[in-house]
Amino acid sequence: MSLTIEEITDREQWNNFLQAQPRGHLLQSYEWGELNKYLGGRIYRLGALQEGEMIGAMLLTVNPVPLPVKIPGVELKWLYSVRGPTVTSPDSPALPALIQHAHLIARKERAVVLRIEPNIADDDPNQQEWINAYQRLGFRNNAIAVHGRRSWVLDIRPPAEELLAKFKMTWRQNVRSAARKGVVIREATTDADFDAYYELMKITSERDAFFIHDKAYHKEILRHFASKGDAVLFLAEHEGEAIAAKMLIRFGDWCWDMFGASSNHKRNLKPTYLLQYHCIQWAQSKGCTHFDFRTIPEILEPGEEMWGVYEYKKGFGGFSRLNIPTQDFVYRPAIYTLWTTLVEWKRARRARERRKVELERAASGQLQTKRPEKTSPAAAQNGAKSAQNPAEKQIAGSKKKPPVEQQKKAEKSA
């Protein structure tokens, strides 16, 4: 049977295939490709078709290599597929065909590496077979992930009351206490509501030191997903004042907790706990089977970055889900080695700085793990940040502007 690789431009064809696959993911969706283009990036939507039927998909983004020294007249790129490619099985003929086509694109783009992070985790019974399939195609493991490897997931098929009963006791108490104290959860519907959401995002970004895109980009996300009822923005209010917010996106039968924010005051009301429970109920109303809280530390040990976030998410019940290591197909070994060495050095330096901060907190009795119920859930959206800015995370988790914006700034100053 003939198999061809084509660039897919039909939104329904693309999304219908992904949503029918157990390993389909939001970050491979047609809409996510459009969001990458909105940020100024270039993408390829590669579909594997057999007798006209789609049996594989891979969304590829093209990114500039962030080398410390520019090579005159040379602009090197790297190709990236976050949570892709998506094929039906490790022995599917679509897998080598998609990779072979990606090699052709890499040659045209002068790519240093093809980097993929398929949606294959430790809950997949064929995990090792998948890894073996990629190794046979010439890929190597990369210990440093672009998009966070580990996430926290909750199976939301049981009734909401049953899920609530499985929350940690303090979490249940905080949900009920917030409701008793007058915290109200409602859907954002007006421009003023959206402004309140984004103001909370800015406050949280400053407090927890993570990057956020501008307001226009957040509106663009809602434009793509909310029009079909697949995204929602919730506000937690007290006496008419917005004190917490969440943006959710549904794709297939999974719901992702995309962005969260909270104010610096009225935190004693515990609005984020009631808001989180409401978000889970919304996902259930949309027919979702799983709720993805998104990134938690890859190494589950106290003192790791985002440990407090992990403690917060864990209180709602659920399980840890660890994806297979990043897979790299290297085209230019010398440049690849220089780049990875730089990344590892920056990563180690940041780890030392983080450890110093944690030790100082421990010495003053402020280590987050001692008071998980007071951890800000908004920092949990670091995973969302990584998904939007893969190259930013690759440069040792830098919290500066993402590569597209850096490139635009460089172009303006040139």
Rounded distance between C-alpha atoms, residue 44 and residue 31, angstroms? 13
Query: Kindly report the CA angle at 34 between 28 and 37, in degrees rounded to 5?
Result: 115
Tell me, what DSSP letter sits at residue 226?
A: G
C-alpha span between 137 and 158 (Å, rounded): 41
**Which amino acid would we find at residue 143?**
A
**Identical fold, 3-149+323-331 and 158-320+371-379:** yes
| Amino acid 403: pLDDT | 39
- In this prediction, residue 371 carries a pLDDT of 43
Hey, which residues does 142 pair with through a beta bridge?
326
Residue ranges per structural domain of the chain: 3-149+323-331, 158-320+371-379
Please state which architecture CATH assigns to domain 158-320+371-379: 3-Layer(aba) Sandwich (3.40)
**pLDDT given for residue 329 in this prediction:** 98
φ/ψ of residue 191, rounded to 5: -60, -35
Quickly list H helices, 110-260: 127-136, 160-165, 169-180, 191-208, 215-225
The pLDDT score that the predictor gives to residue 376 is: 43
Q: What is the pLDDT of residue 392?
A: 34
How many beta carbons lie within 10 A of that of residue 380, not counting itself? 27
d(CA 296, CA 273): 18
Preceding omega of 85 cis (within 30 degrees of 0) = yes
pLDDT at 79: 98
pLDDT for res 364: 67
**Residue (of 347, 385, 325, 335) closest to 115 by Cα position:** 325
**E-assigned strands of 313-406?**
319-322, 326-330
Structure tokens at 29: 């969706």
CB 255 within 8 A of CB 19: no
- C-alpha radius of gyration, the chain, whole number: 21
With beta carbons less than 8 A apart as the criterion, state whether 300 and 83 touch. no
- Choose among 42, 56, 43: nearest CA to 85: 56
3-149+323-331 falls under which CATH superfamily? Gcn5-related N-acetyltransferase (GNAT) (3.40.630.30)
Residue for token digits 């499985």? 166
pLDDT attached to residue 210 = 85
What pLDDT sits at residue 359?
66
| pLDDT in 10s for each residue of the chain, 414 residues | 789 999 999 999 999 999 999 999 999 999 999 999 999 999 999 999 999 999 999 999 999 988 766 767 778 999 999 999 999 999 999 999 999 999 999 999 999 999 999 999 999 999 999 999 999 999 999 999 999 999 999 999 999 999 999 999 999 999 999 999 999 999 999 999 999 999 999 999 999 888 899 999 999 999 999 988 999 999 999 999 999 999 999 999 999 999 999 999 999 999 999 999 999 999 999 999 999 999 999 999 998 889 999 999 999 999 999 999 999 999 999 999 988 888 888 878 877 777 776 667 667 655 444 443 343 444 444 443 433 443 333 323 333 334 334 333 333 333
What integer pLDDT is reported at residue 303 of this predicted model?
85
Task: Report the Cα 283 to chain-centroid distance in Å.
Answer: 18
Are the CB atoms for 253 and 157 separated by under 8 Å?
A: no
